[in-house]
Amino acid sequence: MKPHRPNIKICFQIIFLSLLTLSSVQASEPVYNGKPLSEWLLLNAARDDSAPEAIRQIGTNAIPTLIDILL
């Protein structure tokens, strides 16, 4: 019985493309005016007046990063 090489090749191509897609789609830290959220949070702790507004502007995009920081 001859193995089904085309099917194996297609499976490996699908797996490769899936891994490539997953590796390129990474959650990045939200940025406002060129500074990442963690930097704005540090400025907020230092009582910088512009930090709270920057954190508000980042909005819901900041939630995953805030959870990562808290955990």
Residue 46 counted as domain residue: yes
Q: How far apart are CA 37 and CA 69, in angstroms?
A: 10
pLDDT mean over 38-57: 82
Q: How far apart are CA 56 and CA 19, in angstroms?
A: 34
> Given this model, what pLDDT does residue 4 score?
61
Q: How far is CA 15 from CA 21, 24, 57, 67, 69, in A?
A: 10, 14, 38, 30, 32
pTM of model > 0.75: no
Residue 23 counted as domain residue: no
Q: How far apart are CA 12 and CA 69, in angstroms?
A: 37
If pLDDT is split at 50, 70 and 90, which confidence band does 22 have?
low
Instruction: Look up the domain containing 46 and give its range.
Output: 31-71
Domain count, the chain: 1
pLDDT mean over 1-28: 66
Across the chain, what does the average pLDDT equal?
Answer: 76
Residue 57 counted as domain residue: yes
Q: How far apart are CA 21 and CA 24, in angstroms?
A: 5
Residue 49 counted as domain residue: yes
Residue 50 counted as domain residue: yes
